[in-house]
Amino acid sequence: RARELSHDGVLFPWRTINGHESSAYYAAGTAQYHIDADISYALMKYVYATGDTDFLLREGIHILVGTARFFMSLGFFSASGDRFEIHSVTGPDEYTTVVNNNLYTNVMAQFTLRAASEVLRQMATDRPDAFGDLVARAALSQDEVALWAHAAEVMYIPFNERMQVNPQDDQFMNRQLWNLDDPETGPKRPLLLYYHPLTIYRYQILKQADVVLALFLRGSIFPEEVKRRDYLYYDRLTTGDSSLSAVVQSIMAAELGDGDKAMDFFRRGLLLDLTDLHGNTTDGVHIASCGGVWSSLVYGFGGFRDDGGRFSIDPRLPDGWEKLQFHLSLLGYVVAVTVTDGEVTLQIIDGGEGLVGPLRVCGQEIEVGTTPVTVTGQTVMSR
C-alpha cells in the first residue's frame, strides 16, 4: 500500500475488510496517515505494560522500522534542516481534511521516529547478533537511523503565539468560526447529514477530539497551562458527531479538574448505545466507544498514565462517588487499584509473589506487592 502511494516503508489500511484499504472517501480515510503512528504507539504501550522485549525485537521492530521509513518519506526537512514537516494529511478530526502539519499526526509521528531509533540503539547494544541480522535484511544504516532521531527532534509542533494554543494544523486558525446554525431551530447534527463536506471544511468545527486526543496520548510534552487553553479552545468547537470523542474529552476534563464536564462527557460515552444517543444503535454497538468508557474510568477518573514505561496514578474521583476500583495488568502481574476519598490502595492479586514499580501514586514513589499498600492524597475533584 505504501508503494501504491509512492512512499517507503509500510502503510496500514485505515479501514479494511480483507487486509486492503477499504476507505470509501480518501480525504477522510486513506489520508489519515496517523494510523501508522497509532499502531506503533500501541505496540510500544504493549511492550511497556508487559516487558515483552522478545516480541519487540523479533516481530515488533519490523513495524517500527516500516512506519519510521514511511513517515520519513511522507514528511520533509526544511532547507536549513532544523524543521521536519508533514503535509497533505487528515488528522483524527474528519471535518478538517488534507491539511499541512496536523498537530496530532506530527506528535504521533515524532513518537514513532523516536521509538524506532531508540529501540534500534538498544538492540545494537543488547543483542548485537540480532541487530546485525536486521541491518542486513532491512538494508539499514546508522545514518538512516540517526536521521529518524533528528526528524523526531526537530518535528514541527504548531503553536499560535498570539492565541497561546496549539492550532490543529497550519491553516486552522485562518478559517471562520461556524455560524450556520439556525437560531430558531437550533444546531443540525450530525453536520454531514445537512451540509456538503466542502462547506464543513471551510470552518473551525470538529467532528471529534483531535488536538485534545494528542494532549491525552502525548500529554507529557505539553505544559499544563497549554493543555488547559487547548482544551477550552477546542471544547466549544467540537460537535461530538463522532462516537469516539466524548470519552477522550472526559479524560482531559478530568485531568484538568473540570468535574462537571468530565461527568457530562463520561455519561455521553456510557449511554451512547444504552439510550441510543446517536439514533443508530440498531446498526450495531459502538465497540470503540465501549473501550473508551473503560479508558475514561481508568485514565480519566482513575488518573492512570504510562509515559514511556513510567507508570503513575493521580486520581480525580467525581464528587459524590464513594469508590472507584479497577485492575491493571503490568509486567505479568494484575494490580487492583481502589480509589476512595483521600486514599489509593494498590495490591497484586494475580501473578505470584513479586513487586511492581516504582509507581508514582499521588506524587509518591511506591512499589506494589501482594500486601496492600495505601497512599494518602487529594483524590476527589471539586465541582
pLDDT tens digits along 281-308: 999 999 999 999 999 999 999 999 999 9
- The answer to whether position 173 is within a domain reads yes
Amino acid in position 57: L
Q: How would residue 24 be classed by pLDDT, with cut points 50, 70 and 90? A: confident
pLDDT for 343 equals 97
Paired sense of beta strands 176-177 and 364-368, if any: unpaired
- Residues 315-335 have a mean pLDDT of 96
Closest residue by Cα to residue 44 from 30, 32, 61, 58: 61
Specify the DSSP element, H or E, that contains 326: strand 323-330
pLDDT digits (tens, 9 = 90+) for 199-219: 999 999 999 999 999 999 999
Domain boundary among 301, 330, 356: 301
Q: How far is CA 81 from the centre of its chain?
A: 28
CA 131 – CA 135 distance, rounded (Å): 6
Based on the domain organization, do 123 and 181 belong to the same domain? Answer: no
Cβ proximity of 242 and 276 under 8 Å: no
- Residues 226-255 have a mean pLDDT of 96
- Residues 34-57 have a mean pLDDT of 97
Domain with 346 in it:
311-376
Angle at 245 between CA 42 and CA 301, to 5 degrees: 75
Measured torsion, CA atoms of residues 274, 276, 277, 283, in degrees rounded to the nearest 10: 130
Based on the domain organization, do 19 and 149 belong to the same domain? Answer: yes
**Coil, strand or helix: which one is 353?**
coil
Based on the domain organization, do 95 and 122 belong to the same domain? Answer: yes
Return the DSSP state at 91: -
Based on the domain organization, do 44 and 130 belong to the same domain? Answer: yes
Based on the domain organization, do 57 and 77 belong to the same domain? Answer: yes
Cell matching residue 351: 501473578
The fraction of the chain above a pLDDT of 90, given in percent, is 94
pLDDT for 382 equals 66
Residue 341 belongs to domain with CATH number: 2.60.420.10
Q: Is 94 a catalytic residue?
A: yes
Domain boundary among 273, 301, 329: 301
Residue 153 has pLDDT above 80, yes or no: yes
Cell matching residue 9: 516503508
Residue 259 has pLDDT above 90, yes or no: yes
Catalytic residue, chosen from 94, 153, 255, 322, is 94
- The answer to whether position 383 is within a domain reads no
Cβ proximity of 112 and 71 under 8 Å: yes
pLDDT for 282 equals 94
Based on the domain organization, do 261 and 329 belong to the same domain? Answer: no
Number of domains in the chain: 3
Cβ proximity of 221 and 111 under 8 Å: no
